[in-house]
């Protein structure tokens, strides 16, 4: 009887140690059990035949209407993985329309149980199964995937070393209080705040965290009519504030970099932006540029570029924003999103402005949030 028990235990251990081999090498494979997944997100993984001994991990996140398979097929990461030995995780949204939840409190909170938490658990699983290098985990995405890239960088800063966001919006900009909500104010480029306000929005997604944060590469096009180009400015404001740079005062401005249509704005070692003149939604994925930013390769003047057919299935608000990215220094605040309380009063939702010099909106916050002083001009529901 004892022999049988020991044998069963050994078989179980052998099965566990070989679990990684279930995933086919050099093929996109779904992983159905990777840890807590209350949001129902799907996990797909590409493990190259040429796997490094201690591989880096890239999380590559699709756009609205996209899938893990589409992003796998239409971006260069799997091909580059064979060359450099890293693993690629391709999450897939569980919602109709396949946009990501970047709008609910659960997903905008560290360990809140939303899509962001599910993706973080995919990373933890992969590092454990493949002896991955926890110091070399990176995240990238397009459109809704870029929104999630910014959200993951704010909610799980300890997990990611670097990020690249193709045509997204600042973390928290799409907040609606609902799962998989659509925020037309944000998409239209009308959520305009100071860099301090945006930075606090990101920092408050993981209260008390004081460790390292991923360096950020932000890419956007001037002709984007899905997520308007003002969102490039606002995202640079956010990460400028997080890293202590001054928005609107890049250390370097490099024309025609990495190609003729783009201007590169270098704020410091932790933040760069690329603005494509005449480029619509969304900026084509530049795999070599990403790998150089992540530190997987050295700098390269050439890029492996793939066009992705990103596009949300939701009708968008129109906008006439024409301000030039990396030069706008507006400090006006978008009107706070509000709801009417049952008592007839006005209540501001989480992360909305609730006070400050000249502010005339709601001063009470929806439970359990409190109006928290940031400076003389701005208080926020936190």
| Residue-wise pLDDT tens digits, 79-100 | 999 999 999 999 999 999 999 9
Closest CA to 104 of 58, 95, 242: 95
Percent of the chain with pLDDT over 70: 75
- What mean pLDDT comes out for the span 22-28? 80
339 pLDDT more than 50: no
Residue 380: per-residue pLDDT: 62
Q: Which of 39, 93, 118, 143 is catalytic?
A: 143
- pLDDT given for residue 352 in this prediction: 60
Q: How far apart are CA 282 and CA 145, in angstroms?
A: 11
> Does residue 21 have a pLDDT over 50?
no
DSSP one-letter code for 207: T
DSSP output for 103-138: SSTTTTSTT-SSHHHHHHHHHHHHHHHTT--TTSEE
Digit-coded pLDDT (tens) for 125-165: 999 999 999 999 999 999 999 999 999 999 999 999 999 99
The SS3 assignment for 223 reads: coil
Q: Is the pLDDT of residue 240 over 50?
A: yes
Rg (CA), the chain: 21
Angle (deg, nearest 10), helices 230-243 and 195-203: 70
Residue 103 annotated among the catalytic residues of the structure = no
More confident residue, 188 or 369: 188
Backbone φ and ψ of 323, nearest 5°: -65, 150
Q: Beta-carbon neighbour count of residue 50 at 10 Å?
A: 14
Q: Is the peptide bond before 275 cis (omega within 30 degrees of 0)?
A: no
The pairing of beta strand 87-92 with beta strand 42-46 = antiparallel
Per-residue pLDDT tens for 295-335? 999 864 334 444 443 333 222 222 223 344 544 333 322 22
pLDDT over threshold 60, residue 215: yes
Residue 378 burial (CB count, 10 A): 21
The residue among 245, 226, 239, 219 whose CA lies nearest residue 325 is 219
Report which secondary-structure segment, H or E, holds 263: strand 262-268
What's the whole-model pTM score? 0.77
pLDDT for residue 348: 63
């Amino acid at each position: 009887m004892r022999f049988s028990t020991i044998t069963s235990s050994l078989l179980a251990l052998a099965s566990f140690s070989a679990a990684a081999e279930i995933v086919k090498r050099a093929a996109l494979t779904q992983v159905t059990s990777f840890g807590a997944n209350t949001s129902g997100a799907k996990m797909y993984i590409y493990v190259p035949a040429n796997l490094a001994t201690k591989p880096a991990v890239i999380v590559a996140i699709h756009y609205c209407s996209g899938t893990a398979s589409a992003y796998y097929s239409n971006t260069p990461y799997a091909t580059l993985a064979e060359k450099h030995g890293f693993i690629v995780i391709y999450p897939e949204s569980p919602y109709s329309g396949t946009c990501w939840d970047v709008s609910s409190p659960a997903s905008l909170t560290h360990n809140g149980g939303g899509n962001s938490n599910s993706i973080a658990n995919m990373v933890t699983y992969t590092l454990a199964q493949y002896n991955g290098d926890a110091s070399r985990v990176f995240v990238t995405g397009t459109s809704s995937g870029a929104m999630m890239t910014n959200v993951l960088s704010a909610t799980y800063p300890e997990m990611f070393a670097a990020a690249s966001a193709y045509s997204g919006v600042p973390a928290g900009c799409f907040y609606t209080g609902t799962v998989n909500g659509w925020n037309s104010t944000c998409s239209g480029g009308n959520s305009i705040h100071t860099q301090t306000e945006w930075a606090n929005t990101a920092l408050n997604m993981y209260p008390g965290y004081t460790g390292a944060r991923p360096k950020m590469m932000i890419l956007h096009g001037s002709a984007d009519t899905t997520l308007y180009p003002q969102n490039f400015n606002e995202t640079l404001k956010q990460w400028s504030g997080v890293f202590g740079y001054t928005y609107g005062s890049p250390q370097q401005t490099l024309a025609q970099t990495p190609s003729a249509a783009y201007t590169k704005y270098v704020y410091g070692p932790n933040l760069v932006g690329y603005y494509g003149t005449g480029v619509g939604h969304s900026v084509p994925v530049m795999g070599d540029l990403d790998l150089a930013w992540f530190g997987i390769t050295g700098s390269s003047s050439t890029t492996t570029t793939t066009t992705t057919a990103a596009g949300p299935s939701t009708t968008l608000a129109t906008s006439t924003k024409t301000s030039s990215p990396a030069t706008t220094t507006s400090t006006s605040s978008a009107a706070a999103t509000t709801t009417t309380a049952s008592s007839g009063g006005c209540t501001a939702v989480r992360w909305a402005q609730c006070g400050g010099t000249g502010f005339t909106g709601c001063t009470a916050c929806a439970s359990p949030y409190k109006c928290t002083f940031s400076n003389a001009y701005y208080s926020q529901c936190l």
